[in-house]
Amino acid sequence: KQEVTQIPAALSVPEGENLVLNCSFTDSAIYNLQWFRQDPGKGLTSLLLIQSSQREQTSGRLNASLDKSSGRSTLYIAASQPGDSATYLCAGSHNNAGNMLTFGGGTRLMVKP
């Protein structure tokens, strides 16, 4: 059974810092890996999706990488801003439909002005 772990559980950084959020998964037979953002009282917003054949994806200041052999994904946020404050969740799919996502516990990020 796939287990997804995120470290750290919480992170507080000053504005402008580059930061890395980590996600690890136990089953390397992963089909894709998604990163989501969750704001309090709101749903999950998909940030990036990396398919199993890909190594990384980029969107603006965000870059996500996937290393299936080591069971790891990282989300890199460049030049962090207070508006980036949220909980970041990674989720892996273990079927090729990509719909049964196994989520990590999230990293709660606070970017201080």
Partner 1 sequence: EPEVTQTPSHQVTQMGQEVILRCVPISNHLYFYWYRQILGQKVEFLVSFYNNEISEKSEIFDDQFSVERPDGSNFTLKIRSTKLEDSAMYFCASSERNTGANVLTFGAGSRLTVL
Contacts of 49 (CB under 8 A, 6+ apart): 32, 33, 34, 35, 57
Question: Judged by CB under 8 A, which stretch of 20-28, 61-69, 70-78, 92-100 contacts partner 1?
Answer: 92-100
- State which of residues 30, 33, 34, 65 lies at the interface with partner 1 (CB under 8 A): 34
CB of 60 to partner 1, least distance (A): 16
Give the count of beta carbons closer than 10 Å to the beta carbon of residue 95.
11
Q: Are the CB atoms for 110 and 19 separated by under 8 Å?
A: no
Q: What is the x/- site pattern for partner 1, positions 39-68, by CB under 8 A?
A: --xxxxxx--x-x-----------------
61: Cα separation from own chain's centroid: 14
For partner 1, the binding residues (CB under 8 A) are 4, 32, 34, 36, 41-46, 49, 51, 89, 91, 93, 95-106
